[in-house]
Amino acid sequence: MADRVAGRLKWETLSPLFWALTAVYLGHVAWRWLDLPRPRWVQHYLDDLLCLPLVLTVTLFVLRYFYGTQLRLSRYQMAFAVIYFSLAFEVFFPKFMPRYTSDWLDAALYAVGGFIFYRFLNK
CA–CA separation, 114 and 112 (whole Å): 5
Question: How many structural domains is the chain composed of?
Answer: 1
For the chain, which residues score pLDDT lower than 70?
Answer: 1-10
Q: What is residue 13's predicted lDDT score, i.e. its pLDDT?
A: 84
Q: Which domain holds residue 64?
A: 2-121
Cα of 54 vs its chain's centroid, Å: 3
pTM, full prediction: 0.88
Closest C-alpha to 17, from 111, 120, 122, 123? 120
Q: What is residue 10's predicted lDDT score, i.e. its pLDDT?
A: 67
Q: What is residue 17's predicted lDDT score, i.e. its pLDDT?
A: 96
CA–CA separation, 97 and 120 (whole Å): 34
Q: What is residue 122's predicted lDDT score, i.e. its pLDDT?
A: 94
| Nearest-10 crossing angle of helices 2-11, 40-67 | 160
CA–CA separation, 65 and 6 (whole Å): 9
Q: What is residue 1's predicted lDDT score, i.e. its pLDDT?
A: 42
Q: What is the pLDDT of residues 61-87, one digit of tens each?
A: 999 999 988 899 999 999 999 999 999
Is residue 80 a contact partner of residue 22, using CB atoms and an 8 Å limit?
no
